[in-house]
Amino acid sequence: MFGFLLGTACLVGLIWVVKGPRHHACRRWDSRHFGEGDPGRGWGGRALQRWLFERLDTTPGQERVMRSAMDDLTDGLHSARRELQDSRKDLARALRADSFDAEALGEVFAKHDAALAALRRTAVESLSRTHEVLDERQRQRLADLIESERGRRWHGPYRSHA
């Protein structure tokens, strides 16, 4: 009897391994889980976009425009982040010098101001394109999602929102 139960358990385990896990949580360390690799899989940025498009009930044309706007905004954020990270070297250099160079620090802040101004322009353009492509009901729904707790703390399907 024991052998029959052990054999059944092994068969079930073999079937599970051959078919593979059904949920993304079982593939936790898969690079697609973090939004890298195939942009249509995992719970990275594209999954958030799908979630948003489902809530707004968008058309394929609207989704193309919104994806383009989101990609532009993401590129702008990455560019600003690179600029801010590069300024750490300049700040460290100013602190290492024998006398503090306030002028060099002013140049660092000027670079920050330029990066933030470029990011603001990109954000305004992206939001403007998104606003133009959505109808009144969709704009209201998007505003409600942004304003709500759920819109601010979206963590994916396996995390609590409480």
Residue 84 lies in a domain: yes
81 with 129, same domain: the answer is yes
pTM over 0.75: no
126 with 65, same domain: the answer is yes
Residue 150 lies in a domain: yes
| Percent of the chain scoring above 90 in pLDDT | 35
Tokens in use for 50?
């799908």
Q: Which domain holds residue 37?
A: 31-58+136-156
If one compares 94 and 125, the residue with the highest pLDDT of the two is 125
29-62 residues labelled b (16+ CB within 10 A) or e (exposed): eeebbebeeeeebbbbebbebeebbeebebeeeb
86 with 114, same domain: the answer is yes
146 with 111, same domain: the answer is no
Residue 140 lies in a domain: yes
Residue 16 lies in a domain: no
pLDDT at residue 121 greater than cutoff 60: yes
Burial of residue 6 (number of CB atoms within 10 Å: 0-12, 13-18, 19+): exposed
96 with 113, same domain: the answer is yes
pLDDT of residue 44: 59
* DSSP line for 51-106: HHHHHHT--HHHHHHHHHHHHHHHHHHHHHHHHHHHHHHHHHHHHHSSS--HHHHH
pLDDT at residue 28 greater than cutoff 50: no
Task: Decide: 49 and 60 in contact? Cβ < 8 Å.
Answer: no
pLDDT at residue 63 greater than cutoff 90: yes
State the Cα–Cα distance between residues 17 and 116, nearest whole angstrom. 50
How many domains is the chain built from? 2
State the Cα–Cα distance between residues 13 and 17, nearest whole angstrom. 6
Residue 37 lies in a domain: yes
| 127-142 pLDDT per residue, tens | 999 999 999 999 999 9
State the Cα–Cα distance between residues 99 and 19, nearest whole angstrom. 66
42 with 76, same domain: the answer is no
68 with 94, same domain: the answer is yes
71 with 123, same domain: the answer is yes
86 with 54, same domain: the answer is no
**Is residue 158 very low, low, confident or very high in pLDDT (cuts 50, 70, 90)?**
low
State the Cα–Cα distance between residues 10 and 145, nearest whole angstrom. 47
64 with 122, same domain: the answer is yes
145 with 121, same domain: the answer is no
| 75-97 pLDDT per residue, tens | 999 998 988 888 888 888 888 88
State the Cα–Cα distance between residues 24 and 35, nearest whole angstrom. 12
